[in-house]
Amino acid sequence: MAPTTQPVTVTVTGAGGQIGYALLFRIASGQLLGPDTPVRLNLLEIPLGLRAAEGTALELIDGAFPLLASVDVTDDAAAAFDGTNVALLVGARPRSAGMERADLLEANAAIFGPQGRAINEHAASDVRVLVVGNPANTNALIASAHAPDVPPERFTAMTRLDHNRAVAQLALKAEASVTDVDGVIVWGNHSATQYPDVSHATIGGRPALEVVDEAWCEEVFVPKVARRGAEIIEVRGASSAASAANAAIDHVYDWVNGTGDRWTSAGVTTSGPNAEAAASYGIPEGLVCSLPVRSQGGEWQVVTGLENSAVARAHIEASVAELIDEREAVRALSLLPG
- Active-site residues, by number, are 190
Instruction: Give the contact letters, 173-212, x = binds to ligand NAX (CB under 6 A), - = no.
Output: -----------------x----------------------
Exposed / middle / buried, residue 182 (Cβ in 10 Å: 0-12, 13-18, 19+): middle
- Characterize the bridge pairing of strands 39-44 and 185-187: unpaired
Minimum distance, C-beta of residue 55 to ligand NAX, in the bound complex (Å): 11
SS3 265: strand
Q: Which of 134, 199, 265, 301 forms a contact with ligand NAX (CB under 6 A)?
A: 134
Q: Verify binding: residue 246, ligand NAX, rule CB under 6 A.
A: no
Q: Site for ligand NAX (CB under 6 A): how many residues?
A: 29
Q: Verify binding: residue 18, ligand NAX, rule CB under 6 A.
A: yes
d(CA 177, CA 147): 41
Minimum distance, C-beta of residue 61 to ligand NAX, in the bound complex (Å): 19
**Any residues with CB less than 8 A from the CB of 225 and at least 6 apart, and which?**
162, 165, 166, 169, 186, 194, 196
CA dihedral of residues 261, 172, 20, 231 (deg, nearest 10): 130
Q: H-helix or E-strand containing 254?
A: helix 242-257
Minimum distance, C-beta of residue 261 to ligand NAX, in the bound complex (Å): 25
Minimum distance, C-beta of residue 99 to ligand NAX, in the bound complex (Å): 13
Q: Verify binding: residue 163, ligand NAX, rule CB under 6 A.
A: no
Q: Verify binding: residue 136, ligand NAX, rule CB under 6 A.
A: yes
Q: Verify binding: residue 335, ligand NAX, rule CB under 6 A.
A: no
Neighbours of 325 (CB within 10 A): 13
Q: Verify binding: residue 302, ligand NAX, rule CB under 6 A.
A: no
Nearest to 170 by CA among 141, 210, 230, 136: 210
Q: Verify binding: residue 30, ligand NAX, rule CB under 6 A.
A: no
Q: Verify binding: residue 73, ligand NAX, rule CB under 6 A.
A: no
Minimum distance, C-beta of residue 103 to ligand NAX, in the bound complex (Å): 15
What amino acid is encoded at 178 in this protein? V
| 67 versus 268: smaller Cβ distance to ligand NAX | 268
What DSSP state is assigned to residue 306?
P
Q: Verify binding: residue 82, ligand NAX, rule CB under 6 A.
A: no
Q: Which of 48, 64, 215, 310 forms a contact with ligand NAX (CB under 6 A)?
A: 48
Q: Verify binding: residue 319, ligand NAX, rule CB under 6 A.
A: no
d(CA 159, CA 254): 13
Exposed / middle / buried, residue 98 (Cβ in 10 Å: 0-12, 13-18, 19+): exposed
Minimum distance, C-beta of residue 225 to ligand NAX, in the bound complex (Å): 12
Which residues sit at the interface with ligand NAX, rule CB under 6 A? Answer: 13-14, 16-20, 44-46, 48-49, 90-92, 94, 111, 132-134, 136, 158, 161, 190, 229, 239-241, 244
